[in-house]
Amino acid sequence: MRSREPHQLYTTIVQAVFTIPIIIQMTKPKSAFNFDKTIAGFNITENGIKSFTKTIQLGPLQLTLNTRESGVHASIALPGTGLSKRNIKIL
């Protein structure tokens, strides 16, 4: 194994020292208080609006559509039984 030249080692150390704070700053700090509320179908958290949900009754089935950053997802359920199929990717 070949050893590095002194200037290469210095460059590597400097890059590591200046890269670590940038990585640490990219993570979002946790808030002291959590806020999560659904108002008129909009899920609102301390960081803003996260999703929109609409539930439709289709005969004995309940269809729930959820629009969020990752796309449109759905779930189908039999109300009152606890049986459902969640996270069906629509778009």
Question: Is the pTM for the entire model greater than 0.75?
Answer: no
62 contacts 76 by C-beta, under 8 angstroms = yes
CA dihedral 75, 76, 80, 83 (to 10 degrees): -90
* Contact (CB, 8 A) for 58 and 73: no
| Cα–Cα distances in angstroms (integers) from residue 20 to residues 26, 34, 86, in the given order | 10, 28, 39
DSSP state, residue 36: E
Average per-residue pLDDT in the chain?
80
Mean pLDDT value of segment 31-38: 82
Output the pLDDT for position 8. Answer: 61
**pLDDT-derived band of residue 28, with 50, 70 and 90 as boundaries?**
low
- pLDDT above 90 covers a percentage of the chain that reads 43
Residue 27 near residue 43 (C-beta atoms within 8 A): no
Write down the domain spans for the chain. Answer: 29-89
